[in-house]
Amino acid sequence: MEPTPENMQHLSGFLGQTLSPDPATRKGAEAQLTAAKVQPGYAPLLLKMILQDGFPAEIRLQAAIQFKNLINQHWTASETHDYCMSDGDKASIKSEIVGAMLTAPEKLQPFLSEALGTMSNADFPLDQKWPELMPQLMQHMDSSDPNVVQATLRTTQAITRKYRNASHTDELWNEINMVLTLSHDRLLNTHKNCLSAMAANAANKQVLDTIFSTLELVARVFYDLNYQDIPAAFDDNLDVWMEGFRQLICLPDAVKALFPTSGDDDKLSIMHAMQRSVCEALLLYADKYIVIVDDTDNRSARVDERPVFQKHLGTFVEAVWGLLTHLGVQPQLDKLAVSAIRFLSSVLKGTHYSFFQPAHLESIVANVVVPGLRIRESDEEDFEDNPLEYMQRDLEGGASDTRRGVTCSLVNAMCSHFEEAATQLCNKQMDALMGLYAANGTDWQSKDTALYLFIALATKAETKARGVLSTNPHVNLIDFFQRHVLADLQTVTAANVSKNPILMADLLKFVLTFRNQLPKEAYGVVFPILNILLSSPDCIVHTYAACCVERMLTVKDGTVPRVTKADIQPMLQPLLTNLFGCFEHEASKENPHIMKCVMRLVTAAEGGG
């Protein structure tokens, strides 16, 4: 299939027809494209079309999608796709792909980037099938055109991102060193040049947009190349890299003011995206190259300490703490917040926790922990509109990548070495939050925050199956339960079962979390309330109530179930009635938690374990 004007027009027509609202037209065009993919010259023709300004944007986009899919499926043969692209087409594409990445519109570059990643995974540097790739690419890093530099970095990252998940082998390390030999100095120069340009253009948002875009890509490539180990080139220049990262975390207020976060904009600004990539790089070093104390046997779990990085830790603790203290709570900032909080948690759990001073801890609790745990409008919307997703995050361990989830982990990390001090600071905040709720019964959000804070503070060790196994000795769990959980649960009646479902779910989560610590007398008080809450029309409330029943039935005192067969008999029929009633609600027609509770209840009533 030669790249003639006639063939280009034919291909353009078929690509356009794939966008037709008519199913028959779409199906016919897709059949033509499927037949064309095995013809020699088809893939190079698609690549040329992507770069042709004369074709409409939507046609070029379709060509980019087709090209990406073709490379992914047919660059090499596989069990599912036995057709393999010809060597001639491969050679043609290899000679053009780098130039295409540098000149294609930015919206099309991700498709070319993915295709190039597939190609490099197969051919670079395996058997030196593509030895010219990196030299050809790196010659563009010195360009004075920032768009070319950015395209070069995107292409480089398409090659290096595989290092994040690859097994450490001699072959892989040789490849990384080969890439480093060609790229490190240029990467470092780009990093330094951008920092100088940032200082010279601190009031020019348009220029800063370009600079931050470049620095964000530099940080991503830095992460890839350091993932397996710290190469000597980075170790030798780490002071320069780290000073640059410090500047990017501690941007002047005048620069930050140019990148406000709007509540209506769900996209992360390029400044914040860049800072997130920098925090990810710092987190990588903190996770992999400082000692973490293993609390289970009081031994160091990791001994790969790097003094060159350690001397920067105190600076970055201050910098990241300051960043978080002034970071907004808008959802679009969550990814940055998550990376930054994880960095602090990693340092707190390590042997260098002494970088944290009392003033740090107090500010972190007040300005990072409490705002990070506070429920937001988007969470409330998910509770109402996406209950299954909400429960997956809140109940089933899916919160590890959320701001709330990592904030809970931060509290745990603070308690690793500062348990008593952290407890006092958190108690102070919880008292204030509970005071707000008591003064104004409508401020349930404050109590919601306090409950999450207590759960994070009190939990020392837990498993999903068995619940909390040990608790913070500096908290009075039973007193908190009686005053702030049971007192509210005892107000539940059949008439008000629908009242404030989010707070009710919080109370149930507390019972579920600390089921092992609650005495048998509390079980006798709680079970009738759980039965009432099973009749709640709210999917999350009746699901959490069912989870409480099911898990509490597994708790044993020694070898004896805390809830015996005799305890269950008076409650059995009402519980089963309300459990089966849950299936009448649309959101719970196939609720696995309800099914599991029914099975557990029947087994326990028969005297099973």
Q: What is the pLDDT of residue 80?
A: 76
| Structural domain boundaries in the chain | 1-131, 140-353, 357-475, 488-609
Cβ–Cβ < 8 Å for 112, 50: yes
The answer to whether the CB of 553 falls within 8 A of the CB of 604 is yes
Is pLDDT above 50 for 227?
Answer: yes
* Residue 463 β-bridge partners: 467
- Model confidence over 446-476: pLDDT tens digits? 999 999 999 999 999 888 778 899 999 999 9
Asked if pLDDT for residue 494 goes beyond 60, the answer is yes
pLDDT exceeds cutoff 80 at 304: no
| From 216-225, 360-369, 526-535, 572-581, the region with the lowest mean pLDDT | 360-369
pLDDT for residue 609 = 60
Q: Give percent of the chain above pLDDT 70.
A: 95
pLDDT of residue 310: 82
pLDDT score of 393: 86
- Helix locations, 140-296, DSSP H: 146-160, 170-200, 205-226, 232-236, 238-249, 253-256, 270-288
Q: Which amino acid is it at 391?
A: M
The mean pLDDT value for 312-326 works out to: 92
Tokens of 94: 């290899």
Distance CA 563, CA 553 (A): 6
Tell me: the pLDDT tens digits for 202-213? 999 999 999 999
pLDDT of residue 267: 84
Query: pLDDT tens digits, residue range 396-433?
Result: 665 678 999 999 999 999 999 899 999 999 999 999 99
- pTM given for the model: 0.89
